[in-house]
Chains A and B, each alone.
Chain A
Amino acid sequence: MMELLQTLLQTGQELLGPAWLPVWTLVKIMAIIVPIMVGVAYLTLAERKVIGYMQIRIGPNRVGYFGLLQPIADGVKLFFKEIIVPSGSSKFLFVLAPIMALAPSLAAWAVVPFTDGMVLSNLNAGLLYILAMTSLGVYGIIIAGWASNSKYAFLGAVRSAAQIVSYEIAMGFALVCVLMASQSMNLGDIVNGQQGRFGMLNWYLLPLFPMFLVYLISGVAETNRAPFDMAEGESEIVAGFHVEYSGMAFALFFLAEYANMILIAFLTSIMFLGGWLSPVPFLPNGSIWLLGKVSFILLLFLWFRATFPRYRYDQLMRLGWKVFIPITIVWVVVVAAWMQTPLWVW
Chain B
Amino acid sequence: MNFETVVFYVFAALAVIAASRVVTARNPVHAALFLVLAFCSMAGVWILLEAEFLAITLVLVYVGAVMVLFLFVVMMLDINLVQLREGFWRWLPFGAVLAGLMAFEMIWVLGSSKISGGKEVIKHAADYSNTKELGRLIYTDYVYPFEIAAVILLVAMVAAIALTSRRRKDAKSQVVPEQVAVRKADRLRVVKMSAEKHAQKSDSTAGVAQ
Q: Which residues of A contact B (CB under 8 A)?
A: 90, 93, 123-125, 128-129, 131-132, 135-136, 138-139, 142-143, 146, 154, 157-158, 161-162, 164-165, 168, 185, 314, 318
| Chain A residues in 8 Å Cβ range of B29 | 146
A-B contact pairs, 10 of them (CB 8 A): A124-B52, A128-B57, A132-B60, A135-B63, A135-B65, A146-B75, A157-B75, A158-B72, A161-B72, A168-B64
**Pick the contact of B53 from A93, A128, A131, A168 — CB < 8 Å?**
A128
List the 8 shortest-distance A-B pairs measured between CB atoms, nearest first.
Answer: A135-B64, A132-B59, A132-B60, A128-B56, A132-B56, A124-B129, A125-B52, A146-B75
Excluding A124-B130, A128-B57, A142-B75, 7 further A-B contacts by CB distance (< 8 Å) are: A125-B131, A131-B56, A132-B60, A135-B59, A154-B75, A164-B68, A168-B64
| Chain A residues in 8 Å Cβ range of B36 | 139
Tally of A-B Cβ pairs under 8 angstroms: 69
> Does B127 touch A at the CB level, under 8 Å?
yes
Residue of B nearest to A157 (CB): B75
| Chain A residues in 8 Å Cβ range of B30 | 90, 93
Given A154-B75, A165-B68, A168-B64: A136 touches B59 (CB 8 Å cut-off): yes
| Chain B residues in 8 Å Cβ range of A168 | 64-65
SS class, residues of chain A in contact with chain B? helix
Bitwise interface map of B from 54 to 87 toward A, beta carbon under 8 Å scored 1, else 0: 0011011001110011011001100000000000
| Chain B residues in 8 Å Cβ range of A165 | 65, 68-69
**Pick the contact of B60 from A131, A138, A142, A158 — CB < 8 Å?**
A131
| Chain B residues in 8 Å Cβ range of A131 | 56, 60, 64
> Does B19 touch A at the CB level, under 8 Å?
no
Q: B181: shortest Cβ distance to chain A, in Å?
A: 15
Residue of B nearest to A179 (CB): B131
| Chain B residues in 8 Å Cβ range of A146 | 29, 71, 75
| Chain A residues in 8 Å Cβ range of B59 | 132, 135-136
Q: B180: shortest Cβ distance to chain A, in Å?
A: 10
| Chain B residues in 8 Å Cβ range of A161 | 68-69, 71-72
> Does B12 touch A at the CB level, under 8 Å?
no
A185 touches B131 (CB 8 A): yes
User: In the docked arrangement, what's the CA distance between A113 and B33, Å?
Assistant: 32
> Does B205 touch A at the CB level, under 8 Å?
no
> Does B200 touch A at the CB level, under 8 Å?
no
Q: A315: shortest Cβ distance to chain B, in Å?
A: 8
Q: A174: shortest Cβ distance to chain B, in Å?
A: 15
Given A136-B63, A161-B68, A165-B69: A128 touches B176 (CB 8 Å cut-off): no
Q: B43: shortest Cβ distance to chain A, in Å?
A: 9
> Does B174 touch A at the CB level, under 8 Å?
yes
Residue of B nearest to A138 (CB): B68
| Chain B residues in 8 Å Cβ range of A143 | 33
Q: B171: shortest Cβ distance to chain A, in Å?
A: 13
B131 touches A124 (CB 8 A): yes
